[in-house]
């Protein structure tokens, strides 16, 4: 989530995502804007992911489906896990192996 100073609105990272703006601080108060976040598809993403194959994944406790932006790039919605899933699994396994080698875990 970003608070943009130029337009003073809440949105994702660039103008392409302006359709996902939660509101405009020029016209509304923060108290009026914040409840919209809980009604958004983005906010519900955690629930979608918790019911997906991610829930069975060994790395779910650290990953939770990855970045929602990456998930959006994968399928054009916020229900998808990151498109970097395969890479994440390799990275997490590598980190785990190194931590085991050094006795950290
Ligand atoms: S590594 Fe892949 S399957 Fe596992 S939680 Fe992350 S996105 Fe989901």
Ligand 1 centroid from CA 57, angstroms: 6
96: confidence class by pLDDT, cuts 50, 70, 90: very high
> What mean pLDDT comes out for the span 71-84?
88
Would you state the structure tokens that stand for residue 77, as one six-digit string? Answer: 């919605």
Residue-wise pLDDT for 26-62, tens only, equals 899 999 998 988 888 888 899 999 999 999 999 999 9
Give me the mean pLDDT over the 7-18 stretch. Answer: 54
Cα–Cα distances in angstroms (integers) from residue 79 to residues 29, 37, 48, 70, 99, in the given order: 29, 16, 6, 11, 32
Distance of CA 91 from the midpoint of ligand 1 (Å): 11
What pTM did the predictor assign?
0.74
Predicted local distance difference test score (pLDDT) of residue 13: 52
């Amino acid at each position: 989530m970003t608070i943009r100073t130029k337009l003073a609105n809440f949105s994702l990272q660039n103008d392409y995502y302006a359709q996902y703006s939660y509101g405009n601080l020029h016209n509304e108060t923060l108290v009026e804007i914040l409840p919209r976040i809980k009604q958004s598809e983005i906010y519900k993403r955690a629930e979608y992911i918790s019911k997906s194959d991610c829930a069975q994944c060994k790395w779910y406790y650290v990953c939770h489906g990855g970045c929602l932006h990456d998930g959006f790039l994968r399928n054009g919605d916020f229900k998808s896990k990151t498109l970097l899933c395969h890479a994440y699994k390799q990275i997490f396994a590598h980190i785990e192996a190194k931590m085991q080698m050094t006795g950290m875990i």
